[in-house]
Amino acid sequence: MFKLALSGFKHRWRDYLVLFSGLVMSSAIFYMFEALATNQTFLKQNSMISMISFVFQFGSVLLTIITLVYIGYANSFLLSMRKRDYGLFMLVGARKGKIGQLIWVETLFVGILATIVGIAFGAILTIGVSHLLVQALGLTLKQFSAWYTPAALVTLVLYVGLFLIAGLFNLVALTKTPALKLLHSNDQPNRPRLHPVRQSIEVIIGLASISIGYWSMAHLIDLKMAGIGIALVTIVLGTYLLFNAVFVWLVVLLKRFKWAQRGLNSFTLSQLSFRIRNYTKILSIVAMLFALALGAITTGLGFHQQVPMMAAGGSAYDLSLVNPTAAQKRTVASLNPTRQATYHYKTTSKVVYYNAAEFDQQPFYTANTSGTTHLSFKYAKNNAKQMKKSFYSYQLGDLQTRLNVRKAAVYLPAAAYQKLKQPEAQLLVFATKNFQKHFATFKQLTKAQNKRGANLQIAATGGRYYAYQEFNGMYSGLEFMGFFLGIAFLAMLASCLMFKILSGAAADRQRYRMLDKMGTTQRQLKQALRKEIAVLFVLPGIVGIIHVLFGLQMFKVIMITSPYTGIWLPFTIFAILYLGYYWLTISIYQRIVLQ
């Protein structure tokens, strides 16, 4: 019996390879997510959001639901491959107990091996993706580990547990089914039928559930953690109900139009309806993964774009240098600054005295929160009090030495200033056209300045460069989580669609070969194939985009700018990747199905 089972395995190794690779990718992505979700130290030190741990816990629940459905579908694919073989074994006298033992062992072997390989592959992917993101985006992370043992244990326990249940289900399903029914199980199509009342109820409940989920995300400030839980349950439920009702309805109704009788359109619709129930589950999963991937990437890119905007809004100058050397001045001049000023000052233990005349000659600029610079003030006797009260703002104080930031400012006429006996210091401030292009030069300037100021307290402290470093440190964790999870969910999405499409390749090969023998051209066959696969991509894509547009509402509470700012960029990037994966899927599927 084991030899026969092994023979069947060798005969269908391509189908097993599709199953195995899909399970490996699934467990790898689950490990990647858990590497963040279970690392509480990383979450706390790399996020300003107090409830980030609870958010990841809800995310783990959602991903577990997706994994449960995915493994259930993978198990049904495994069972469908073996039903005919085991039915034949029963006809020649094999005991049902032995058949059950074989399918139990086979299910556990495939599942456990795929899980172990998937965890190892997930760790490798985590290393590669994290290194790529850190290098490309200039992120700074704390306490992140590509290999995290608790994440591996969670993944192993979940997947082994699910495969134990799947093996038990397979044992019962095979031993309770007559042999003849097993032999012809793959020849029985699942023809959809319209049930207007039931499907109308599903549509109403689905729309209501999704509406409640959207509302809870928009009112996350009031609902807090309950809002995330409500959105998790209602959106998942509503998505499945809509696909289950609308997609079946759509396929059946399209067959009644004249358009369905043109070319191979009728064949394409029949292909979709042949396995309609399995499609609704997969499309629901893909829609959720599409929304998660696109939403995560959009949020990560939003935080990444927000950092330089916040830095630009904190100062009108890129950097400040105290008592710069001649070499440093030459370096600044080589940057072709668009704005530059030099101010002299003298200090006591509590006061900073400025030569006010220099503010007439070189006006001081400030920046607002949007990053727009404007002329702040010139010195004049009639507005000296106003300068002292409001214009010695944080932005001017931030450009001073660390010892002078909190001291009071006094602006004196040139004559009065010269009478002061305190030693004089020089403050050089400048701004370039694009401060992000000169980070390497700024790093050299600050390194030299800090080295000189180790004992003299003249280290540079202010400007956009320093603000960028601070904000980048604060938001790097959120950026990394967004991009990392976006890539992970995109890979999971690809795995689901690929597995679904390729798992039906063996049966589809016979149908397309039959059309070829009837005289259908290769062009017509390819068009029919592209239309069928396009449906699997377009429908969840539309639903996923709608989910993202409403889901971004909950990020208003943690983002300075609107989460919809520059949304076209992540959407365009994701659309290109999604379209590229569509053409890749078509290419692989054509090589399998078409002669």
pTM of the model: 0.75
Strand 424-431 to 339-347 pairing: antiparallel
CA distance 109 to 113: 6
CA distance 140 to 311: 16
Per-residue confidence (pLDDT) for residue 205, from 0 to 100: 92
Per-residue confidence (pLDDT) for residue 374, from 0 to 100: 58
Per-residue confidence (pLDDT) for residue 390, from 0 to 100: 44
Per-residue confidence (pLDDT) for residue 506, from 0 to 100: 67
CA distance 437 to 382: 41
For the chain, the domains span 1-188, 192-313+465-595, 319-462
Per-residue confidence (pLDDT) for residue 389, from 0 to 100: 44
Total Cβ atoms within 10 A of residue 193:
6
Per-residue confidence (pLDDT) for residue 386, from 0 to 100: 45
Going from the C-alpha of 382 to that of each of 379, 386, 396, 482, the distances in angstroms are 9, 9, 21, 52
Per-residue confidence (pLDDT) for residue 514, from 0 to 100: 81
> What amino acid is encoded at 468 in this protein?
Y
Candidates 189, 280, 69, 265; CA nearest to 507 is 189
| Relative orientation angle of helices 439-452 and 326-334, to the nearest 10 degrees | 170
Per-residue confidence (pLDDT) for residue 157, from 0 to 100: 92
Per-residue confidence (pLDDT) for residue 249, from 0 to 100: 76
Q: Are 29 and 122 in contact (CB under 8 A)?
A: yes
Residues 6 or more apart whose CB falls under 8 angstroms from that of 541 comprise 287, 290, 578
Q: In what order do the strands lie in the sheet with 408-412?
A: 319-322, 424-431, 339-347, 351-355, 408-412
Q: Are 144 and 42 in contact (CB under 8 A)?
A: yes
Pick out the chain residues at pLDDT < 50. Answer: 378-384, 386-392, 455-459
Per-residue confidence (pLDDT) for residue 381, from 0 to 100: 47
| Relative orientation angle of helices 464-503 and 505-517, to the nearest 10 degrees | 60
Please provide the distance, in angstroms rounded to a whole number, between the alpha carbons at the two ends of the chain: 35
CA distance 420 to 355: 11
Three-state secondary-structure class, residue 280 = helix
CA distance 218 to 590: 44
CA distance 570 to 563: 12
Residues 6 or more apart whose CB falls under 8 angstroms from that of 588 comprise 498, 502
